[in-house]
Structure 1
């Protein structure tokens, strides 16, 4: 049995909601596969602006390895996410369709990123990837277009890469899509604005040449998606030889 405790600011009515939330239950299930968890103290919780579902849960667990050695127990639970590298081919050149948006945590007003989003309650990575493409990049894509970079690299051994394994439970599953476009289509994709006031998101699309974009990346998921996509291209070339 796990002994639970809560910070005073967490309302009693919210406590069952936290315990039954998908992100907490998924985290706990995975943790208990390899660790012994005896206590969990919930420090804070942030909820989605729509509904009463936890978005971020900060907790401090008392946990050990199976042999009894203690482990660092502070965790920010947010669940998994997806990201999609959008590769555009136009007149023999490659481009990336990216988005810029404010990221207060790193002090960036226009952080350059691949389209991405948090995994929703369905747990369907591919569905969320397609939804984020349409929402953030204004691209409607079919499931058949998605290149699963995680499945290519990990061969089913992992849902995704750990963004910050010392604190976050999040694993990001990465995909790529490739599109042949005309110069007119390429131009029309650049500079589109999306505003989602309820989610507090201000997004602008940007098209950059493949090489120029890579040198501007500071977001980890961008670099890893690019690395895996290039490895995927190399593997295809090897298979065609």
Structure 2
């Protein structure tokens, strides 16, 4: 095990590495860089006299890397770590973190083109059915989604994942960022969080911008999505598509935090006349 001092930290923060991870690999891992930047900004916000922790501010004192999962080409996929964040009174905050970075989720609403354009009748949502071993499932119903890399835009990542998981080609400009539209300008005081949903912020850094795309298609073309097999087989993706009525999404996709969040934002923004 090797140790180094995290740059630009006060007090100095030692980082204990696992034998299979180097300092350079960790510091180049985009989710780690994002997490440290966000946490540092939030800790700095305690300098404000209005902050509830101002009298006894918390500080990042140590990071222990516990495990690393690599993808096939030795690219870091996930990191499990424990961060020691405490104040001078010895009070400590929970610091178990599963680092995986950002993902994107897509609410794809299809409607037959023989239905009047102004009507809400016969709107359907594309769900993916695929194995999710972490949930103990071989057929979890969820919105199309995918992990982000550290290049390109959120919308670009969403458009790429839509094509890979559904076969539907969508341009970036055709996507509406539901989370940005809903959360723009809303931040905890002094913090700089992503304009995205955090599905499991008690233990993971994962954030998910949610995008909307509505498309009108001929009925026969719409039916081609029902039961379609998609996904990148060389990346072990085994995806089956399912069309469900929009009005039933809360039930059909009720185990998927992305689906429920996207549906809530979609309905709320429509109620306010912003969609």
Q: TM-score, normalised by structure 2?
A: 0.79
Runs of 4+ in 1 over 4 A off after TM superposition: 65-68
Alpha-carbon deviation of 1:59?
0.3
The structure in which a higher percent of residues are strand is: 1
Q: Distance in 1 between matches of 2:147 and 2:263?
A: 20
The residue aligned with 2:129 is: 100
Mapped pair 1:43 → 2:72: no
The residue aligned with 2:268 is: 231
Alpha-carbon deviation of 1:93?
1.1
Alpha-carbon deviation of 1:17?
0.7
Q: 1:80 aligns with which of 86, 90, 102?
A: 102
User: Is the 8 Å Cα contact of residues 180 and 209 (structure 2) preserved in structure 1?
Assistant: no
Gaps of 5+ in 2: 1-11, 44-58, 116-120, 187-193
The residue aligned with 1:212 is: 248
Write out aligned runs for 1:121-160 (5 A).
Answer: 121-122=150-151, 124-157=153-186, 158-160=194-196
Q: Distance in 2 between matches of 1:97 and 1:204?
A: 10
The residue aligned with 1:167 is: 203
User: Is the 8 Å Cα contact of residues 97 and 205 (structure 2) preserved in structure 1?
Assistant: yes
Alpha-carbon deviation of 1:74?
0.8
Alpha-carbon deviation of 1:165?
1.1
DSSP-derived class of the 1:201 partner: coil
Q: 1:196 aligns with which of 228, 232, 244?
A: 232
Gaps of 5+ in 1: none
Q: Distance in 1 between matches of 2:104 and 2:128?
A: 15
The residue aligned with 1:11 is: 20
User: Is the 8 Å Cα contact of residues 17 and 53 (structure 1) preserved in structure 2?
Assistant: no
Q: For the structure 1 residues 67 and 29, does the alpha-carbon distance in structure 2 shift closer, same or farther, using more than 3 Å as the test? A: farther
User: Is the 8 Å Cα contact of residues 244 and 252 (structure 2) preserved in structure 1?
Assistant: no
Alpha-carbon deviation of 1:89?
1.3
Q: 1:118 aligns with which of 147, 162, 183?
A: 147
User: Is the 8 Å Cα contact of residues 48 and 55 (structure 1) preserved in structure 2?
Assistant: yes
Please tell me the root mean square deviation across aligned C-alpha atoms, in Å: 2.0
**Deviations 1:117-167, CA, capped at 9 Å, x for gaps:** 111121521110000000001111122211110122101444201111110
**Deviations 1:201-239, CA, capped at 9 Å, x for gaps:** 1111111111233212211111000111111222227x9
Q: Distance in 2 between matches of 1:111 and 1:77?
A: 22
**Deviations 1:49-107, CA, capped at 9 Å, x for gaps:** 2x332111000111136987421111001111110100111234110111110111112
User: Is the 8 Å Cα contact of residues 81 and 173 (structure 1) preserved in structure 2?
Assistant: yes
Mapped pair 1:89 → 2:111: yes
The structure in which a higher percent of residues are helix is: 1
Q: TM-score, normalised by structure 1?
A: 0.90
Larger Rg: 2
